[in-house]
Structures are given as C-alpha cells and as structure tokens.
Structure 1
Amino acid sequence: MTRGSEPARRGSKLRAAAYFCGAAAGCLLIVAVVVAIALTADRLGGGVLYFAGLVAAQLVSQPIGRHVVVRCWVGFKRTISADGWSALRADPRPPVLYLRSFLVDDVLARTGETAMDYFRTEEERLARAFAPIGPLVAVGRPGEALPPAGAPRVYAGDDWQRIVSELLGRARLVLVGAGRGDGLRWELDQVLATVDPRRVVVLLPLTNWEYDHFRSGVADLFPDPLPDLPPLPDGHGIRAALHFGEDWTPELVPLTIDRATSLETALLHHLAPVFAHLDDTRAPARLRRQRDLRSLTLRLAGLTLLLTALWGLLRVFVLR
C-alpha cells in the first residue's frame, strides 16, 4: 500500500507540550479555586459558609474541568496519536475497519458525562470496545489539521478507493458509521459485495429523521429493508446499531447509554452475536468487568459526595 498525504505535523511537539501544559494548568486552577473558597469560608466563621463554600467550589471547578482540562487533554492525545499505517504494522492481527461519513467525526468527538468518560471521546470508547478483536483504523479526512482522538487514521490520498478495497479484504470486522455522502454509499456497496454479513456492524449516530433519510438513500443496496428506528433519548452519539444474519437479514439494537451503562458495556451486551461469530470468548467476561467497574466507580463517587455532605453538616451544626 502507498501512504497518502497526512496532516501537517510541523510543530507537533510544541503543540503537544502546549496542550499538556494547558491540562496541568487547569488542574492546578481547580485545586486553587477549591482551596481558596474553602479557606475563605472557614476564616469567615465556618458553619453555613463552609458548606456553601464546598458547593461553590464544585460549581466553579466543574466547568473549568470540562472546558479546560478535558479539551486540552483530548487535544494532547490528538497531537501524539499514531497514524493508521503504524498501527497496522505494530499489530499483526487483522484490523477492525471503521468506515463512515466524515460528518460523523464531529459527533463522536464528544466526551462522556461521567468521571470514567470525561477524558475519552466516544470514538475512543468505540476503539476500546473492539480492541480485543483487532486494531481499529479509519480512513482520514483529507485536509484535516489533526486526526480525532480514537481510531488511528490511514491517509489514502486520491487512491482511497483502492486502499479501502484492500483494507476490506484484510479486515476481521467492519464498522460503518451511518451518514450521507457518495463516498460512504460506494463503501457500503463494496462492503455488501465482499464482506461476510456477520462481520458487519452499522452504527447509528443519527436522529430518527436522519436515519430515515439514510435508510431511503441506501435502500437499493441492502437485500432486505432496514428496520424502523424506535424513538430514543438524545444525549449521546451512537444511539443504536445494526448487525446482520448470514443472508443480510438486519437486526436493530438500541444502545441505551446513561451514567450506569457505558458505550463499551452497551456494545458488548447488544452485539453479543457479532462477538460470538468472531470467536471472542472473552466478551462475556469483559462485559461483567465493565459493569462491575462502572458500578464500583459510581458507588465510590456517591460515597464521596455523601461524606462531603455529612462533613459540611457537622461543620454547620456541631463544630461551629
């Protein structure tokens, strides 16, 4: 394979250092705000002021963390990310090929809402879910300054169709991010012509209206009509997924993602037939670990908040 044009990497070390310093400075700023508010409230007499100070510190540090620390850390990871060619050379396993409309990149660039997912984009969580199958790689968007955090990018240049065809021949699993565009339609046509249906998953980061538009646009490609998408709550990117039987019979699975269920957990649970077909015998154990870790983290977070509240009440009514 020939390597296409990659994003300009001039000054990448300086840019990475700047992002890293920004994240570190944001963390120090959060600590300074919390300490300053707590000390000020304590010197003013403690009691109700101390408890109010803790609440104010939380309200101030939350947006700082999301808008400074998280963004700088994601930018740092984008700057140091390896390209897809290096990922393919470093991992001898057949890859997981991620095809999508480039518009999907912006949707999956969002970070999570809970502490476990604050510093991971949705695409990174997608890569983590399928990492035991193979390295996730995607074709890069022409002209982008930096690749998104998540799947390493293969930059194919003008020869992208040949590169995609060769990667399809090597891929153990093909993920398709549904969207619109002639390029995605051509890729879907190649997938249906050359890939085992049981090794294909179509991800749906779409609203119901967008899904209906996508379904009508590719209706002539699939042997069977794609099913209706039930109304699903907003709040995350990938809202549902399609997997297929050996005759391209589609099955739609909603992915309910909330503070108790991560994207990785939802994918491992609802795409169990796909993992079973790929002989990933560790998927059930990974699902249990994901659930246990998520539950433990939420319990610890809740216990921390409870202890903080109790300490504040003690300061108000007992230790004043």
Structure 2
Amino acid sequence: MARDKARSGRSVPPAALFTVGGWVLRVVGLGCAVAGFARWKSASRPGPYFEPPAWWQTYVLFPLLLTGGGLLFLLGQQAGVQGRRRRAAPVRPAELAARSFVLYLRPFEDDRRRAGLEESRARGIGSVFSFLYVSGLTEEEQLTRVLAPVAPVVAVGEPGERLPLAGARRFYLPLDDWQDTVSQLMGRARLVVLTAGLTAGVLWEIGEAARKLPPERLVVLVPMDPEAYETFRARAGETMPRKPDGKPQLELPEWPADSTGKRVHERVFTGAIWYGTQGEPHFVRLGLPTRRMASRAGLRIALREGLCPVIDRARPGRHR
C-alpha cells in the first residue's frame, strides 16, 4: 500500500508483520516471565516432596527467564507501536473542511519524547513485573485518547519524517508556507491543544491563537519545570498581540503553588492551562497520588482529570 512506503520513497515492512510479531513477543515474554518468577519462588520455599533445583537454576536461569521475558514483552509493545505507525494514513488539509477536529500543535522535537512508551512507576513487589505497568500506547496516543470525545486529533507532520507517528493523524505542509494553513485550521478546529515551547514556531502559534480564538477553545500543555515555564511565559508575552489597554491578548498565569501533595509525572506533561468562558485562565498540575502511580493508564488518568472541564465543554452537542 502507498502509505506503507517511506516518505523518501523506500519501502518499509508492512504493518501486519509488526502487529502480529508484537503480539507473539508479548505472549512469549509474559509466559517466560511468569514461569521464571514461579520457579524462583517455589525454589526459595521447597516442600517435603520437592527437590530444590541446582543453584545455577535458582540464581541464573530463573532470573534470566524473568528479565528476558520482560524485555520480550516490551519489544512486543514497541513492535505494536511500529505497526500502528505503518497503518496511519496522512490526511490532507482540504479534507478537514467538512470535519470536526482537534488541532494539536507542538515543537517537532517534542515528537521524540511523545513517541515513546510511558515509563513504569511500579514500586515494591510490583517492580518485578514493571513491564506490565507500561501502557502499550505512546504518550501521544494517550493524549489523543483523552481528546477523542471532543473530535479526532490532527497535527502537522514533521517534513521529511519516514513514517507518521502513532497518535494524531498527520498532514504535511511546506517549510516555507505553513502559517496561513495553520491559522485557517485554528479557526475551524473545535479545540486547539498547544504544547508550550521556546521555538519561533510555537511562539507564533500561541500569538496567533490569542488573536484568532476565543480563549475557551485553547489548551496549553506544559511539559517543563517552573523556571522553563517562566521563560516561555515571558517570551510569549513579548510576541503576543495586545489589547487596547496594552495587556497581552491572552493571559498566561504564574506557576501555581503545589498544595495538592501529588507526585508529578516526569518527562511528560507537568501541567495544563485552559480558559473559562470569560477568558479566565486555569493552571492545573498534572499528577497522581502515590497509590495510583503504578497504573498502566497513569498519564491518561492525569490528563483526563486535569482537562475534564474543558473536554466536557467542547464535546459535540455542547454550546461552543
């Protein structure tokens, strides 16, 4: 199929090979890990009718089965991601004219972080099977699942990328002629979700969103610490259009005091900004209580809880 070819023209392995291979690796890996763990536990507590295995089985073979099985399981999840990338069909901007969609904007270098599987945060005995606590979805896929009740998510693809990433459907624009198309799509999007960053493209996008959109149709995701956020806030304030009184068209609030006691996800999104119907900003921290950190859907839960008001308001059938 055409979409199974690299954008450079070279052919790539078909999606089915990665999808089926991924499931095989996961089943085999899980079986090895469970067998290794069960034999190791039984060897540590021998009964009257059970002959203990040799030391090399207890301390070498069974741990290797457990760790090797976990690695095979993770490889299977990565293969599944590659299969979904090969099934992803790009969309043309013209096709979006008659569709409802969420527009996802971010620095292209952000893709490298969002394309990976979420890091396991299992603790205690759960860390033995930590690979089971890693979602088989990439960080971007989890974000698009959260936004799915509003509309399908689309994003500008990085020019020259070999395959679209799993998650938002990509459309491609020339490097020297993209701003007009993005501006038009902002105006038609049901919701615009923008990842904060310091690139010239992101600073232009947030300024254009301030000029083009009612604030309640914008969400700003914050993937940075307080110091980096303050730099972004200052840079965006310099380039943002102004109201008649000289204030920025869109208010970016200060970093909120942490009074929730939540542990914040690392290397993912640390916060999100959304706006009320009168333009008042709400900065929510994205974190989970310790007891829920081991969840396979930890990132999805944090995003869903933090963005619940704006997602509920933007659902189809709700007043915009």
Which whole-Å deviations, capped at 9, do the CAs of 1:39-72 have from their partners, x for residues lacking one? 9889999566598776653333112322x21222
**Between 172-181 and 115-124, the greater mean CA deviation after superposition:** 115-124
Supply the distance in 2 between the matched residues of 1:264 and 1:196 (Cα, whole angstroms).
26
Contact map agreement 1:93 1:134 (CA 8 A) in 2: no
Which whole-Å deviations, capped at 9, do the CAs of 1:188-218 have from their partners, x for residues lacking one? 1110011110111001112333222212211
Change (3 A) 1:207 1:106: farther
Q: Aligned residue for 1:278? A: 314
Q: Secondary structure at the match of 2:287?
A: coil
User: 1:218-297 maps to which residues of 2 (within 5 A)?
Assistant: 218-220=236-238, 221=240, 222-223=248-249, 224-228=251-255, 230=257, 233-257=264-288, 258-260=293-295, 262-279=298-315
Q: Aligned residue for 2:71? A: 63
User: 1:47-62 maps to which residues of 2 (within 5 A)?
Assistant: 49=53, 57-62=65-70
Change (3 A) 1:268 1:74: same
| Letter of the structure 1 residue corresponding to residue 18 of structure 2 | Y
Q: CA deviation at 1:124?
A: 0.4
Q: CA deviation at 1:250?
A: 1.9
Q: Aligned residue for 1:11? A: 11
| Letter of the structure 1 residue corresponding to residue 294 of structure 2 | R
Contact map agreement 2:149 2:311 (CA 8 A) in 1: no
Q: CA RMSD in A?
A: 3.6
Contact map agreement 1:208 1:229 (CA 8 A) in 2: no
Q: Runs of 5+ in structure 1 lacking a partner?
A: 1-5, 283-320
Contact map agreement 1:123 1:150 (CA 8 A) in 2: yes
Change (3 A) 1:47 1:238: farther
- Structure with bigger helix share is 1
Supply the distance in 2 between the matched residues of 1:87 and 1:35 (Cα, whole angstroms).
51
1:183 has 2:210 as partner = no
Q: Secondary structure at the match of 2:178?
A: helix
Which whole-Å deviations, capped at 9, do the CAs of 1:154-202 have from their partners, x for residues lacking one? 1011431121012112100000011121111111111001111011100
Q: Aligned residue for 1:289? A: none
| Letter of the structure 1 residue corresponding to residue 274 of structure 2 | H
1:109 has 2:115 as partner = yes
Point out which structure has higher relative CO (alpha carbons under 8 A, 6+ apart).
Answer: 1
Q: Aligned residue for 1:154? A: 171
